Amino acid sequence: MLEKESDKAEFSKALKIGALCIVTYTASYIMRNVLSVSSVQMLKDGFTKDKIGSISSIYFMAYAFGQLVNGRLGDKAKAKNMVVTGLFMSGFAAICFLLVQNLYMQIVVFALNGFGLSMLRGPLVKTISENTIPKHARNICIGFSAAGLCGPLFAGMLAAVLNWRYVFFSSAAITVIMGILSFAVLSFYESKGVIADISKNNKKEKTSYFKMFLIDKFLMYLFVGALTETVSSSVVFWIPAYLAENLGFSASQASLIYSVISVIRSVCPFLCIFIFNLIKNKDRLLIGTLFSAACVFFALMNFASNRWVNISSAVLALVCVGCVSSTLWSFFIPSLGKYGCVSSANGLFDFAGYIAASAANMFFATAVTKFGWTRLTYIWSALMLSGVLVVLLCGVLPLKKVRKV
């Protein structure tokens, strides 16, 4: 009887924490996708691919370096302080972007947007992993990953019905309102003992920054994370433009299709856990197989004469990569709670991912301008092949397993 009551209490606690973190993260992902979903309208409004590519690349770099700094800070500071600061900074930057005309000023304010958004994920995942039991933490992180895929859906819906300037303004309003709500609810949870005071009550021994690299499979997942983030951020970023320019859809149609693709991708975390359990947690096998499938699907985009078949092939590739990403964020990252380095590791993985995405986005913008969409999709396919090779390499190298996760 007491055990059942304890289980109920743990479930109720996890539900409260999970709901808040998921909604907050969804709001941040709307802001993270405003430039992508607005790109088709912005191109018609005088922006060039190179200009948009430069703005997005600097944004990714700012987000990446922010993750490195804020990831470590997130293991020490209160989540509510970081979340409200990050969301307010992001909302302020989006408004400023609408007020400046100079390219360099636009790059600066959008970099501020990236740094602000980098203050959320680490503290939120840390709050989840250290205040809920492992079973619930994993389930919340699955929902957390799905929320990251739902953000583009809502951003795409805004872009389908609003001018791109109003998309920016609406997204800014959402992030500021969410910042206020998150701060208030997290403060209430602290006062009621639902969550611990992260900055004071966490006496768990922490793994140093450099010792994290000795954790089993850490390096493999670091590369996997960089590769999946390149797809999730840089490849997905150019999907609306690809739909409009290469497949002939209108701006509103491209935004709606982008939203539908986001809905489909949101099932990836749930599909991943089903497959993961089916193959008895053999993550290396799962990752290698999915990267192989994504490699084939990206290449097939160039052989489909029907544009709906073309889109289907792209969606299947993105779903495969989304499932790979879920093995990192829904399984590997939460398992690091016992080392006291969830936020730091999260920051490092995001740093690697967004540095890769930043470089890729600049390269993709140049590649599509010079060589066209066909060759660019072959480049996407080649990236997936590199993932297969790394997973195979990690499976045969005699690496010493210092820590088993």
Express each pLDDT in 10-28 by its tens digit: 888 888 998 999 999 999 9
**CA-CA distance, 249 to 136, in Å (whole number)?**
42
* 287, 185 Cβ separation under 8 angstroms: no
State mean pLDDT over 386-405.
68
pLDDT value for 143:
77
Signed CA dihedral, 310, 312, 313, 314: sign only = positive
**CA-CA distance, 35 to 27, in Å (whole number)?**
15
State mean pLDDT over 292-303.
95
pLDDT value for 205:
54
Name the DSSP class of 302.
T
**What is the dihedral angle through the alpha carbons of 87, 203, 138, 36, rounded to the nearest 10 degrees?**
20
Least confident range of 175-179, 216-220, 247-251: 216-220
User: pLDDT higher for 121 or 99?
Assistant: 99
* 324, 273 Cβ separation under 8 angstroms: no
Model confidence, pTM:
0.73
Residue 248 has pLDDT above 60, yes or no: yes
pLDDT value for 389:
93
Residue ranges per structural domain of the chain? 2-396
E strand intervals along 133-231: none
Mean pLDDT for all residues in the chain = 85
pLDDT value for 89:
97
State mean pLDDT over 91-96.
95
pLDDT in tens, 124-146: 888 888 888 877 877 787 777 77
Name 215's bridge partners: 403
H or E, element range at 16: helix 2-32
**Cβ contacts of residue 45 below 8 Å, gap of 6+?**
164
Q: What is the DSSP string of 165-185?
A: HHHHHHHHHHHHHHHHHHHHH
pLDDT value for 320:
95
* 356, 390 Cβ separation under 8 angstroms: no
Alpha carbon separation from 315 to 32, 131, 172, 218 (Å, rounded): 20, 35, 29, 28
Distance of CA 50 to the CA centre of its chain: 23
**CA-CA distance, 269 to 329, in Å (whole number)?**
9
pLDDT value for 113:
95
Residue 332 has pLDDT above 90, yes or no: no
Residue 338's Cβ-side half-sphere holds a number of Cα atoms within 13 Å equal to 8
| Three-state DSSP class for residue 285 | helix
pLDDT value for 1:
53
Q: What is the fold, at CATH topology level, of the domain defined by 2-396?
A: Growth Hormone; Chain: A; (1.20.1250)
**CA-CA distance, 268 to 257, in Å (whole number)?**
18
pLDDT band at 178, cuts 50/70/90? Answer: very high
pLDDT band at 198, cuts 50/70/90? Answer: very low
**CA-CA distance, 50 to 328, in Å (whole number)?**
32
**CA-CA distance, 31 to 172, in Å (whole number)?**
7
Angle between helices 134-161 and 34-44 (to 10 degrees): 20
Tokens of 111: 């970099």
User: Percentage of the chain surpassing pLDDT 90?
Assistant: 36
Least confident range of 182-196, 243-257, 333-347: 333-347
